[in-house]
A and B are shown apart, each in its own frame.
Chain A
Amino acid sequence: MKNGEQRIEFTLNGDKTSVTFPTFKTLLEVLREELNLTGTKHGCELGECGACAVLVDGKPVLSCLMLAVEADGTKVTTVEGLADDARLHPLQEAFADCGAAQCGYCTPGFLCTAKALLDKKPDANRREISEALAGNICRCTGYIQIFEAVEQAAAKMAVKK
C-alpha cells in the first residue's frame, strides 16, 4: 500500500472483497475505477441526481457523497448485484418490460433506490414511490413508466410470497 492509500474489506454484491485505493476517493469512484463496476453512474457527483445510488447495508446511499473508506465492513449492493445469478430481480424485469429504461443512464440509481423502498414497504403506493424516488432525476422517461415498473414489480413480489 502506497502512501495516501487505504484498504478496506467489505461485502460487495455478496462477495467478500478487499480493495486498495487513494484515500480521497468516493465509493462511486472506487466502484467504477478500481473495481470496474461501471453499472453505477455519475450524473453530478454532488448528490443532486441519484444516478450513483447503491445500497449500503440495505439503505440507499448516494455513492458520490460517501468516501469509500466509510464502506469498510459494510454490505454494498450495486446494480450488478441485484440479479440472483442469472435470474433478474423483479424490479429489473419490470423496468425492462415497462420501458422504464429509456437511455438507461438513470436506471441503476432508480433500481437501487426502489429496491430499498420495496424491501421496507412491499405494498408502497404511487405517492410513496414518488416520495422515495424524489432524489433521482430522469431526463428521458417522464417517470411514468418508472412508477409503473415499481408497481408491477411490487405486485409480482407480493404474489411470490
Chain B
Amino acid sequence: MAKRTLRVGYPGNYREIEVDSPDAEPAPWDADSKLAVVGKRSPRLEGADKVTGKAKYTADVKLQGMLVARVLRSPYARATARSIGLAKALKMPGVKAAIEVEKEARYHGQAIAAVAAETEAQAEDAVAAIEVDWAVGEHVVDVEAARKPNAPRVHGGKNPNERGGEAQNTATEEACVTALKKSHATVDITFTTPVVTHSCLESHGSVARWESDGSLTVWDSTQSIFGVRDGLARGFQLPAEKVRVVKEHMGGGFGSKLGMGQHSMIAARLAREAKAPVKLMLTRKEEHLAGGNRPSSVQRVRAGADKDGKLTCLWLQSHGTGGINGGANCAGPLMSLYNCPVRRLWHADVITNASPAAAFRAPGHVQGMFALESTMDELAGKLGLDPIEFRKRNDQNEMRQAEYGEGAKMAGWEARAHLPNSGGRHKARGLGVSASIWGGGGAPGAQARCVISRDGAVEIQCGTQDIGTGTRTIIAMIAAEELGLKPEQVLVKLGDTTLPFSHGSGGSMTAPSVTPAVRAATAAARGRVFEACAKSLKADADNLTAKGGNVVAKGGASIPWAEACSKIAGANVSEQATRAQNFRGYKDGTAGCQFAEVEVDLETGHVQVLRVVAVHDCGRVVNPLLAESQINGGIIQGLSYALLEQRILDDATGRMMNANFSDYRIAGPKEIPEISVVLFDVSNGRTNTGVMGIGEPPIVPTPAAIANAVAHAIGKRITDLPITPDKILAALGKK
C-alpha cells in the first residue's frame, strides 16, 4: 500500500487527507486533478446505433431455427394443478416442446407450463390447449386481511403470513412514549403507499441455445449477466464456464432484472427439449403480473421535537407486502438520515397471494422518505419553523446542508409564503422540499482488461453491462483520460460472461465499482507502451505521459500514440486489474435534496408538477450529460409514483385489474415539469477515480417533495399515495 495525500471535499470546502492505495494502482484523482475527458458532456458512444434501429436488444435476437415460447399462467391467486395435460398441446401444429413449470399457484400470473413452437401464434394456440385440472384454493391479496389470524395461509400449513418484529438495537416502546411526552411538538401519522411495477419498456426475456458441446448460450435482457450465468449453471448443474450469457443492449431494468428470472430457465429447458434455440419474451400483461414490483407500505410514524427544533423521537411501526415473498422494509431513511436520540423500528413483511416483489430503484427508500419527510414538514409546522431550517438543525451532513442552500435559491424558497394564492382562481400552488440519501460507493472485485495493439487500437474488456445508463461511454472516457485519447478511440467490450467478471448493475454500484478497475488496467497497459517506446524518445519510461494523442517525454519530445504503440514487441500488450477495497476517504454515501413546485386545480383535484429543482452529489461526475439523464429519469419515475401508479388487485378474485398501460398509467410527456439539475462535484478520495453512483438517489426524494408541495398548496396533507384527484377533493371536503 502506498500512502497518498489527497485533496477532498467540494467547492468551497476542501481539506487534505491521507489514504492507503494499492501500490500497483495509479495515484487516485482528487480535487486538484486536471482531467481532459472525464467531467465533460459526452454523448453516448452507441448513440448512432440507438437512433438508427441498429442496436440489438434481446427481443431482436433471431437465430437459425429459433422457436418462440409462451407461458401458461395461473388464472387463480391460489390453486393447485392436480394434473397438467401437455399431450394435446404437443400435437398442435408447429409445437416442438412443452414443459410443466409448477403445480402450486400462489398468485395470479404464476407460470404453470410452457410451450415452444415455430411461431408465436402456434405457441399461443398450444398454451390454450394445455389441460389443467385445477383445485382452486382460498387466497388473500389484501395486506390487512392477510394479517388476520383466520386468513388463508399463503404458504400453507401453520406458516404465518406476517413475519416481523422489532429491529435490533432499537429503543423500547416505553422509551419512545417517555420521549414523546417530554417533547414540545409531536405528530402521529399513518402513511400508505401502493405496490407499483417497474414497467420497463422492453419486457423480461431470454433466447437460449444449446451448443453441440453441451454448453449453453443465453441472450438475456438482464442487469446481471453473471447472475444469470450462475443461476442457469446451478439450475442445469453445469460448471459455470459451460454457460455463456450475452446482453448487448436492454430496454430498462430498474432493479427488476437483477439476478436470474424464471423465464431464462424456462427458455433454456424448452430449448433442451426441442433441440433448437428458443426465444421467450414476456408480454406487457405478464410483465405486470410477474415481472417484479415495489412492495407496498403502511407506516405509522410517531415523532417529536423539542422547542429548539431538535428531534426527540422517531418511532416507525410499519408493515407492507411484497407478495409471496420479498421484504417490504422501508425504514432506511428514518433510521439514518437525521440525528435523533430515541429511535424505534417495528416492521413486518406481510405475505399475500400476489406476485413477488423485486428490487426497484432505491428499494424501501422511496416509500420511507415519503413518510419521513412528510412527518418533518408536519413537525416543522407545529414548531413554527421553516421546513429547511428544521431539517438543517437535525442533519449533520455538511454536503446536504450546502445543497439546501443552493436548491432553495434556485427554487425561490424565500417567496414560498405567497405561493398558495398565486395560482389564480380555482388553483393553488405550493413548494415542497425533501432530502435524499443513498450509498452508491461501489464494491471491490470488478475486473477489467485493457488491450493495446501495435496499431494503437485500444480495447477495454469488462463483463459489466450497460443497462442504458451509459456504462460503455463512461468506461471509454476513463480509459481515454488515462491514454490521452478521445473516448471514441476506445473500443469497449461488455455484456458477455466470457469477459472479465463484474457485478450485477444494481444499487448504483456499476460506475463506482467498474471505473477504478478500468483505470488501473489502462494505466498498467500504458506503462507497458511507455516501456516499449521509451528508447525512441530517449527518455525513461517513468518520465513519459500520454496526452493529446501523443506520448510526451519530460523534456518535451513527443511521438504520436500510434507510433508509440508500434514499438510494442508482439501483437499487443494486455493488462488486467481488479477493483480494490474502498479507501477510508472523505465521505461514504451520497446526499441530495429536491424541491417541487406544484399547481393544484381545486375544482378537479388535478395536480400538475410545474418545476423540480434537484441538487445531488455523486462523487466525481464522469459525464454530466449522463448524470443529468439519470436524475431527470429518476425524478419522473418518482413523480409517476407520487401521482399516478398503483397496482390494483381484486380482493374477490385475487386478480390484477390493471395489467396494461391504459389502466396502469405511468407518467407521459404531458406530465413533465421543468427540471433544474445541480450536480455537486465531490472529491471523495475513496477509489482511484472517486466516482459514485447516481442511478437511485434522484428517485428517493421526489414523491416526498411533491407531497409536501401539495400540502403547502392546499393546506391539507395527503398521506396515501398516489395523490389522485379524488383524494385531493376529499381532503378539500368537495367529495
Contacts and interface: CB of A to CB of B under 8 A. Distances in A.
B284 A142 contact: no
Contacts of B672: 130, 142-144, 147
A88 B50 contact: no
Nearest to A131: B670
Contacts of B201: 41, 43, 49, 51, 103, 105-106, 137-140
Interface in A91-127: 91-93, 95-99, 101-108, 111
A48 B662 contact: yes
A144 B675 contact: yes
A91 to B, nearest CB: 8
B629 A141 contact: yes
Contacts of A44: 284, 660-661
A107 B50 contact: yes
A83 B467 CA distance: 26
A42 B284 CA distance: 9
A36 to B, nearest CB: 7
Interface string B244-273: 000001111010000000000000000000
Given A103-B467, A103-B468, A137-B668, A143 B53 contact: no
B252 A139 contact: yes
Interface in B598-636: 625-626, 628-629, 631-636
A36 B43 contact: no
Contact of A39 (B53, B629, B636): B53
A91 B469 CA distance: 21
B51 A88 contact: yes
A81 B632 CA distance: 30
Closest 6 CB pairs of A and B: A39-B53, A105-B251, A103-B468, A96-B47, A104-B50, A142-B632
B44 A103 contact: no
23 contacts: A32-B60, A38-B56, A39-B53, A41-B251, A43-B201, A43-B251, A45-B284, A46-B284, A48-B661, A51-B201, A92-B48, A93-B51, A101-B51, A103-B249, A103-B251, A131-B670, A135-B668, A136-B669, A139-B252, A139-B254, A142-B631, A146-B669, A147-B669
Given A88-B51, A92-B51, A48 B660 contact: yes
A129 B672 CA distance: 12
A133 to B, nearest CB: 4
A142 B626 contact: no
B380 interface: no
Interface of B: 43-44, 46-57, 59-60, 62, 119, 121, 198-202, 249-252, 254, 283-284, 467-470, 625-626, 628-629, 631-637, 660-662, 666, 668-670, 672, 675
A130 to B, nearest CB: 4
A45 B283 contact: yes
A136 B661 CA distance: 11
A46 B660 contact: yes
A97 B42 CA distance: 8
A107 B661 CA distance: 18
A80 interface: yes
Nearest to B48: A96
Contacts of B660: 44, 46, 48
A96 B632 CA distance: 17
Contact of B60 (A38, A130, A139): A38
Given A41-B59, A96-B43, A105-B201, 11 more contacts: A32-B60, A38-B53, A38-B56, A46-B661, A48-B662, A49-B284, A49-B661, A92-B51, A101-B44, A141-B636, A144-B672
Contacts of B121: 22, 24
A83 B54 CA distance: 12
A137 B667 CA distance: 8
Given A130-B670, A137-B201, A145-B629, A104 B249 contact: yes
A105 B202 contact: yes
Contacts of A19: none
A99 B628 CA distance: 9
A79 B53 contact: yes
Most buried by A among B57, B59, B254, B669: B669
Contacts of B661: 43-44, 46, 48-49, 137
Nearest to B283: A45
A107 B660 CA distance: 20
Contact of B59 (A42, A102, A107): A42
A108 B53 contact: yes
A134 interface: yes
B626 A99 contact: yes
A134 to B, nearest CB: 5
A71 B284 CA distance: 25
A80 B52 contact: yes
Contacts of A78: 53
B139 to A, nearest CB: 27
Contacts of A136: 668-669
Contacts of A98: 43, 625
A12 to B, nearest CB: 13
Contacts of B52: 39, 79-80, 82-83, 88, 92
Contacts of A108: 53
A71 B467 CA distance: 35
A49 to B, nearest CB: 6
Interface in A22-45: 22, 24, 32, 36-45
Contacts of A22: 119, 121
Nearest to B57: A105
Contacts of A133: 669
A94 to B, nearest CB: 9
A141 B51 contact: no
Nearest to A140: B633
Contacts of B198: 139
B690 to A, nearest CB: 23
B632 A95 contact: no
A146 B632 CA distance: 11
A60 to B, nearest CB: 14
Contacts of A145: 628-629, 632
Contacts of B633: 102, 139-142
Interface in A58-100: 78-80, 82-83, 88, 91-93, 95-99
Nearest to B41: A99
Contacts of A138: 201
B59 A139 contact: no
A114 to B, nearest CB: 11
B46 to A, nearest CB: 8
A138 B200 CA distance: 9
Given A103-B250, A144-B672, A43 B202 contact: yes
B120 to A, nearest CB: 8
Contacts of B119: 22
Contacts of B252: 103, 105, 139-140
Contacts of B47: 95-97, 101
B218 to A, nearest CB: 19
A119 B252 CA distance: 30
Contacts of B56: 38
Contact of A107 (B43, B51, B467): B51
A139 B644 CA distance: 14
